[in-house]
Amino acid sequence: MDGEGDPDPMTGRGRPWFAHLWDRNLHRYPDPRARYGYLAVVVLTTIVLYYQQYVGGAVAPSVLAHFDMSFRFYLTVIVVSSVAGAVASLLAGLADRWGRANMVVWGLLVASTITAFGIPNASSSMVYGVLVAGVGFIEGMVLVATPALVRDFSPQVKRGAAMGFWVLGPVVGSLVVSEVASNTLAHLHPWQDQFHIAGITGYAMFVVAFLTLRELSPPLRDQIMVSMRERVLIEARARGIDPIAAVRNPWRQMATVRIVVPALGLSVFLLIYYAAVGFFVIYFSSVFGFSEARANGLGNWFWAANAVAVVAVGIVSDRVGVRKPFMVVGGAGAIVMAAIFASRATHPATAYSSFIVIISMLSVSRGIAYAPWMAAFTETVEERNPALVATGLAVWGWILRVVAALSFLVLPYVVTSVSPVVDYGTQVKAITVRYAPQVTTLTALEPATLAALQKNIGDRAAIAAASSQIVARLHTTPLGALQRLLALRSMPRSVREYLAAHGPQVRAAQQEAPAQWERWWWVCVAGEVLFLPTIFFLVGRWLPATARRDAEEHRRMVDAEEAHLSDRPAGAVVPTPTA
């Protein structure tokens, strides 16, 4: 990549090749090949960081069992992680003053260390929660710094494609989690191995980012660049920009209706995304009985379909010059498919292949809306002040993480059955499999009879009552009933007590779970409905013909400015045009 030998902007002297390892500013706009290289590093770094952020969801049942962690505690960990990310998103607004690249590079190193060594060696559920919150804090910074870098290196005419590739970060990160887990869980049984793999991957990416990642200097990035043709003009204008003055009162400039309302709209649109990341494996395994590996396999389809959609639609939106129609089409499609997905919750016989079709179409619809939205949102922030892009993205990132945290707080009150199913369901299922005949016998007994036997399995009156109940309900002989009761002696008392304490609770929860999950998916549908009217607050045209007229007018302005620049003496300051 170019820029290694950039002269020091203060002295004009060449800098040593290794200076860019801490001073990553580019003082010339990179040529297309270098620009694509920087964008690729940003996207790959984002993918790896989100892989580390989401890897815990693939092995959630195993983590809960390992730490004997209740589902409520697990949700609390997710909420705290989201809150940490919200705080970090606000702090990442400082990237407008301090830069973005070092925030990403060193954040990757910290996240990789926590993922590779911290979480797998956590000594308790509390330590696990603190470390997960640490990764969430890093994710909050990345959520702001990486799209800011993508915006810096992508003129508006290529912004849709660039943001489509950036959206690959969380999407492909989730896909990698599902793909690695579905192909390795059967062979690498300890859940810690999934974190080891993610952490080592992060270290490899850190080396690449440490050696290559650069960013535009403040005077270059503090401008709106519509097309690559303006590269020379951007550099000429940069000589007349005061980067300190441009970033005064950042929050007052960015906390506006046109920025806050669309950010809130997208945040509720992504309710189903938060649930997919955190609970798809739990949902499909507890409601439909799929194994962890098969549930992760469904995640492969969900994320792969989204990955293809965000890139393809981003490119197409650049070609036609409009974003909003794609958001409307994608949002409407997501509403329809999410409604169909919600309706399947109460149909436990729904085939695995049916879910593949439903969630793939849902994911494609979401992608059609998401990539153009990211492009339009950064353009809306630019219109307000191009020097405060990171601050505008920080407002969005903070709202996104707060909404995510609130959704995780509310979910257990809507899906009340999930806690007993997750907390006790695995153990109850294991007992049912190991002691199948004995469990069948116990389920045939009336509660009072079962309680008497639990108290004293040799109680003759209880045995007589139990025998008659078994004969009547299991259609066996008195001798067969006696044999069944004798078989209960091989079942340890602790196992019988655990089954008596939690079995009815789990069975009741399993019966209630489908309807409760269906209600939550309808909440997600409502979020997608609320997203649609917020599209109108974003900048951008609705009709390609109008967008083409705007582009032609801008080209004429650039022609005039280039002609004016050619008449100026070398080194003269070119004023930045006002919006």
Q: Are 346 and 287 a contacting pair, CB within 8 Å?
A: no
Residue range 201-229, pLDDT digits in tens: 999 999 999 999 999 888 888 777 776 66
- Identify whether the C-beta of residue 45 lies closer than 8 Å to the C-beta of residue 104: yes
Locate 515 and state its tokens: 């309807």
Q: What is the pTM assigned to this prediction?
A: 0.80
Beta strand segments in 112-206, E? none
Count of beta carbons in the 10 Å neighbourhood of residue 402:
17
Query: What whole-number distance in Å separates Cα of residue 28 and Cα of residue 30?
Result: 6
Mean of the per-residue pLDDT values of the chain: 86
Greater confidence (181 vs 201) lies with 201
- Across 34-53, b (16+ Cβ under 10 Å) vs e yields bbebbbebbbbbbbbbbbbb
- Using alpha carbons, select from 507, 175, 522, 510 the residue that is nearest to residue 344: 522
More confident residue, 90 or 236: 90
Give the model confidence (pLDDT) of 143-171 as tens digits: 889 999 999 898 888 888 989 999 888 88
Tokens encoding 417:
């059955």
Find out whether 330 and 373 touch, Cβ atoms under 8 Å: no
Convert the pLDDT of each residue in 536-578 to its tens digit.
Answer: 999 999 999 998 898 888 788 877 876 776 655 544 544 555 4
- What is the predicted pLDDT for the residue at 246? 66
Cα atoms found within 13 Å of the Cα of residue 127, Cβ hemisphere only: 11
Judged against a pLDDT cut of 50, whether residue 446 lies above it is answered with: yes
Residue 332 confidence (pLDDT): 97
- DSSP tag of 5: T
Average pLDDT over residues 125-139: 93
Q: What is the pLDDT of residue 242?
A: 63
Tell me which range, 66-75, 353-362, 483-492, is most confidently predicted by mean pLDDT: 353-362
Give 102 or 20, the one with higher predicted confidence.
102
DSSP string, 273-304: HHHHHHHHHHHHHHHS---HHHHHHHHHHHHH
Domain locations along the chain:
17-227+257-425+511-558, 426-510
CATH tag, 17-227+257-425+511-558? 1.20.1250.20
Q: What angle do CA 378, 383, 387 make, to 5 degrees?
A: 75
> Contact, 372 vs 327, CB < 8 A?
yes
Alpha-carbon distances, residue 408 vs 274, 299, 419, 552 (angstroms): 8, 19, 13, 47
